[in-house]
């Protein structure tokens, strides 16, 4: 993914966070000084994620490679620890 959509989503997310902080900064009470920061963090996370999903050029992942079948070598079994010949 290129950095263009990440930059756009970050800028828009910071703008949304600043707007949410500005709207809620005049609250009073016990949480009046904390809630603007909480609202700003939530707004940044939500808006930046949505803008990223809308602007990024996402592609499906390539199919995983087919597994390679293992072949047995001689008379050794898979559970032997190689401690000696019997």
User: What is the domain range of residue 13?
Assistant: 3-55
What's the pLDDT tens digit per position in 16-43? 999 999 998 887 888 888 999 999 999 9
Q: How many whole angstroms from its chain centre is CA 77?
A: 43
Tokens standing for residue 1: 């993914």
Give a yes or no: residue 69 inside a domain.
no
For residues 31 and 5, the answer to whether their CB atoms sit within 8 Å is: no
Average pLDDT along the chain: 83
Give a yes or no: residue 34 inside a domain.
yes
Number of domains in the chain: 1
Could you give the CA distance from residue 50 to residue 47 in angstroms, rounded to a whole number? 5
Give a yes or no: residue 84 inside a domain.
no
Give a yes or no: residue 81 inside a domain.
no
Give a yes or no: residue 13 inside a domain.
yes
Provide the pLDDT for residue 84: 60
| pLDDT at 1 exceeding the cut of 60 | no
pLDDT over 90 for what percent of the chain? Answer: 40
Give a yes or no: residue 49 inside a domain.
yes
Burial (Cβ within 10 Å: 0-12, 13-18, ≥19) of residue 25 = middle
Provide the pLDDT for residue 27: 78
């Amino acid at each position: 993914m290129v950095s263009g959509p990440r930059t756009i989503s970050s800028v828009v997310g910071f703008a949304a966070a600043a707007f949410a902080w500005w709207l809620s900064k005049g609250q009073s009470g016990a949480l009046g000084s904390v809630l603007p920061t909480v609202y700003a963090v939530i707004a940044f996370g939500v808006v930046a994620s949505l803008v990223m999903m809308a602007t990024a050029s996402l592609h499906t992942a390539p199919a995983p490679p087919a597994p390679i079948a293992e072949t047995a070598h001689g008379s050794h079994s898979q559970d032997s620890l190689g401690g000696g010949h019997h």
